[in-house]
Structure formats: structure tokens, C-alpha cells
């Protein structure tokens, strides 16, 4: 049954802002649309950046990718700030439950010694990898063009910081709050042979100037190798040995990667579909960074799975993703 409430009806003069009306006609818009479209300034900038005087403050020429409309880079998750924080906030409840469960059931003590050691030497250093990815996505937000992509990159940067912090919590939980575990992880990242190719690749990405190439290097190629290796293959291996701890404590990161891939792949798809030049550029960047990432992942795959060749198998999945997104692989 419906109850009629008499409310005053007042006719609106318009349904939305002009820049949205010009795109979609005068009708009510979603919160995502209002939060994203055309928010970045486009013209009549006042001064040259002292840090890059040959460019405008916001300048589409900071990448070689070209677009007729930079607001084609939509987010399939439709994240604006509110939707993003509410979603992530909700996910934290299950993370908390997992951490509590591990503590309550004494899963740390029950863990095999060799798996525990492996997590400390070969998962905890990923704190630094995630920090590098955080820096790179801040860079994409800073240098990128158009709020559609740059806002999502900033959410992505926040996610990477969150990932690094969960790895930190895990290390502290595993060692009864011993910071030495973090120092050892840092030491491995800096000096352990197996980590050096990946650290070198990360540092090389930090100096990439073209922000879309950086997107391909970090969010597609490096992540496409590193995340499945540690948060899928290694987790499954440990779980099959009866150690579910890694899977439980990094569940957020694993779920996040599945979600994030949809967004990242969409960006590649949109750029590649725009024109053949974009497609050729992206295919070239992908080929270059994919090969480097495979080489960097091999010693790590050897160390954690006992099979360096697994890096190629993971890359094959990633190649399939990129083919689907429209690249020549």
C-alpha cells in the first residue's frame, strides 16, 4: 500500500550543469557524472610552471597519447570520493575480522617455519614495492589530464598505501611487533639479489616522464606480474600446505587487484580504441615493460614458487588481458 504524502512540488529550471547538458542533454545526472566531468581547468592559464616552463599547468602534451575527449576515461566502478571511501570503509570490517581470527586461533604459531620465513623475506619487502606504486600513481594524478583518469589514479595511490600498511601490520603480527622484521624486509629490498631486478625496474619507472607510459609500466605490466605472483600463486601454494594466514591477511589486496584490473584494463582499451597511433604506442610500451617485468619477476618466482618459469605463465594471462583490451601483443 502506498501512503500519499502531500509535498509541495516546485518545478526545477534545469536538471544539471551546462557542461553535462552539452554532453547528455538536460536530464538528471548521476553523482559520478557531476563529480568527474570537466572539473579540471582547461584554458587561460596564467603562468608557466616553474618546474616545467615549456608546458601549461594542465597540459595534454605530457603524454604522447592523444584523445579527442579526455573524459572517455571513465571508471567502471564509478568512484567519486564518497562512493570510494564508503566502499573501502566497508571492506575494512572483514579485514579486521581476518586479523582477529588469525590472532584468536593462534595461526601465527601454527604456521610452518619455512613459510613464515618466506613471508618475512619475500612478501614483507613488497611494502616498498607498494610505496613505489603509490608514488607513481600520485605522479599520474599530478601530471595526467582530465579528472576522469586523474581522480581514479589518486584513489589508486591511496589503495597502494593501504596495501603497504596491511603488509606492515602482517609483519608486526608475525613477529610480535618486532620492527627488526621490517628492517630485514627493507634490507632484502635494498640488497637481496632476488629483489634487485624489481627494485631497479621500479626506480626506472619513477623517472618515466610520459604519464601514460608510466600507467602501462606500473598499473599494467609490473602489477600484472607481481600481484598474481604473490597474492595468487604463492597464497594458493601456502594455503594448499595448510597455511591460510597469508591469504587471510592479504585478502583485501587480492580482492583489490581483481577490482583494480577492471579499471586499468578499461583505460588501455579506451586509449587504444581512440586511434591507431595510440594503439601502436601502447603496444610498444606494453611490450617493453612486460618483458622487463617478466625478467624482474623470474628470480622472485624462483625463490617463492621454486619455478622461475612461472613468471612467463603469469605474463601469458596478462597478455590475454591486453589483447582483449585491443593491443598488439
186 binds another protein (CB under 8 A): yes
Neighbours of 229 (CB within 10 A): 20
238 binds another protein (CB under 8 A): no
82 binds another protein (CB under 8 A): yes
Region from 27-35, 239-247, 269-277, 296-304 binding another protein, contact rule CB under 8 A: 27-35
Residue of 2, 3, 50, 240 interacting with another protein (CB under 8 A) = 50
70 binds another protein (CB under 8 A): no
Site for another protein in 102-131 (CB under 8 A): 127-128, 130-131
Residue of 1, 3, 13, 109 interacting with another protein (CB under 8 A) = 13
Shortest CB 303 distance to another protein, Å: 20
- For residue 7, give Cα distances in angstroms to 4, 12, 13, 14, 132: 9, 15, 18, 20, 54
Region from 39-47, 60-68, 115-123, 273-281 binding another protein, contact rule CB under 8 A: 39-47
Residue of 14, 25, 54, 104 interacting with another protein (CB under 8 A) = 14
Shortest CB 182 distance to another protein, Å: 6
Residue of 142, 262, 323, 324 interacting with another protein (CB under 8 A) = 142
23 binds another protein (CB under 8 A): no
Residue of 12, 25, 68, 106 interacting with another protein (CB under 8 A) = 12
Residue of 1, 2, 4, 8 interacting with another protein (CB under 8 A) = 8
Residue of 16, 98, 218, 267 interacting with another protein (CB under 8 A) = 16
327 binds another protein (CB under 8 A): no
CB neighbour burial string for 21-56, b if at least 16 within 10 angstroms, e if fewer: eeeeeeeebeebbebbbbebeeeeeeeeeeeeeeeb
Shortest CB 318 distance to another protein, Å: 24
Site for another protein in 284-313 (CB under 8 A): none
What is the total count of residues that contact another protein (CB under 8 A)? 83
165 binds another protein (CB under 8 A): yes
24 binds another protein (CB under 8 A): no
Region from 155-163, 216-224, 257-265, 317-325 binding another protein, contact rule CB under 8 A: 155-163
Region from 82-90, 112-120, 218-226, 305-313 binding another protein, contact rule CB under 8 A: 82-90
Amino acid at each position: 500500500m502506498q501512503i500519499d504524502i502531500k509535498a509541495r512540488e516546485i518545478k526545477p529550471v534545469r536538471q544539471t550543469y551546462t557542461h553535462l547538458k552539452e554532453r547528455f542533454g538536460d536530464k538528471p545526472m548521476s553523482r559520478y557524472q557531476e563529480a568527474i566531468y570537466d572539473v579540471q581547468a582547461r584554458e587561460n592559464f596564467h603562468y608557466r610552471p616553474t618546474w616545467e616552463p615549456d608546458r601549461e599547468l594542465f597540459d595534454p602534451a605530457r603524454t604522447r597519447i592523444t584523445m579527442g575527449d579526455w573524459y572517455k576515461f571513465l571508471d567502471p566502478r564509478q568512484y567519486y570520493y564518497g562512493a570510494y571511501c564508503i566502499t573501502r570503509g566497508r571492506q575494512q570490517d572483514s579485514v579486521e575480522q581476518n586479523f582477529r581470527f588469525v590472532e584468536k586461533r593462534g595461526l601465527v604459531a601454527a604456521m610452518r617455519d619455512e613459510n613464515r620465513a618466506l613471508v618475512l623475506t619475500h612478501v614483507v619487502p613488497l611494502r616498498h614495492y607498494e610505496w613505489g606504486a603509490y608514488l607513481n600513481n600520485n605522479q599520474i594524478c599530478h601530471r595526467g589530464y582530465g579528472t576522469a583518469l586523474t581522480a581514479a589514479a589518486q584513489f589508486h595511490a591511496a589503495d597502494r598505501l593501504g596495501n603497504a600498511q596491511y603488509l606492515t601490520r602482517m609483519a608486526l603480527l608475525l613477529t610480535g611487533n618486532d620492527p627488526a622484521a621490517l628492517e630485514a624486509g627493507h634490507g632484502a629490498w635494498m640488497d637481496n639479489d632476488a629483489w634487485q631486478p624489481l627494485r631497479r625496474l621500479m626506480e626506472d619507472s619513477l623517472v618515466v616522464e610520459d604519464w601514460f607510459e608510466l600507467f602501462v609500466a606500473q598499473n599494467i605490466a609490473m602489477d600484472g606480474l607481481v600481484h598474481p605472483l604473490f597474492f595468487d600463486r604463492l597464497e594458493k601454494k601456502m594455503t594448499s600446505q595448510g597455511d591460510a594466514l597469508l591469504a587471510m591477511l592479504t585478502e583485501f589486496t587480492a580482492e583489490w587487484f581483481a577490482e583494480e584490473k577492471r579499471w586499468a584494463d578499461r583505460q588501455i582499451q579506451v586509449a587504444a580504441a581512440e586511434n591507431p597511433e595510440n594503439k601502436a604506442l601502447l603496444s610498444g610500451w606494453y611490450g617493453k615493460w612486460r618483458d622487463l617485468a617478466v625478467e624482474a619477476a623470474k628470480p622472485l618466482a624462483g625463490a617463492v614458487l621454486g619455478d622461475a618459469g612461472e613468471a612467463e605463465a603469469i605474463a601469458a594471462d596478462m597478455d590475454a588481458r591486453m589483447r582483449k583490451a585491443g593491443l598488439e601483443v
